[in-house]
Amino acid sequence: MTDISTDTALLAHAIEAAREGRATGGIPIGAALVVDGEVLAVGFNKRVQRDSPILHGETDCLANAGRLPASVYARATMVTTLSPCDMCTGAILLYGIPRVIIGENRTFYGGEDYLRERGVEVTVVDSEECVELMTEFIAAEPELWNEDIGEE
């Protein structure tokens, strides 16, 4: 279940979504919702593209997956390129998603301790590719990044 090669393979879907986000002028954070080994939906941060303060990688992914019964969330893994912010941490807890795979938490450390405290299994891949995506973006657009994390 916690096979690192599987985690890396799943993370690739989130990274692809993050790259699409960056390529379309947005913030390079992507996510994938995986159920029973299948990618049910992907999503990426759409702050710029949709002028949205709530479509982060994870929440966009959940929206793209549509309405699902609790029994499906209970078997799901949320894969995200970046440590989830407080809003996305809340969404993961709200829907009872039991496992989260995080690409990296070096450029931003979100609610992962709280997720663990609440019984969620959290795996941090520490992907160089994810770190590079964020490092490049934060250097290029610091104001946009601060807006996304609610800072001046």
Contact by Cβ (8 Å): 92, 102: no
Site string for Zn ion, 87-106 (x = CB under 5 A): xx------------------
Q: Measured between alpha carbons, how far is 99 from 92 in angstroms, rounded to an integer?
A: 9
Residue 85 found at the interface with Zn ion (CB under 5 A):
yes
Size of the site for Zn ion (CB under 5 A): 4
Instruction: Give catalytic status of residue 128 as yes or no.
Output: no
68, two tokens: 């699902």
Binders in 25-84 for Zn ion, by CB under 5 A: 56
Residue 10 found at the interface with Zn ion (CB under 5 A):
no
Q: Measured between alpha carbons, how far is 61 from 67 in angstroms, rounded to an integer?
A: 12
Q: Would you call 41 helix, strand, or coil by DSSP?
A: strand
76, two tokens: 């799901």
CB of 87 to Zn ion, least distance (A): 5
Residues found near Zn ion in the complex (CB under 5 A): 56, 85, 87-88
Active site residues: 58
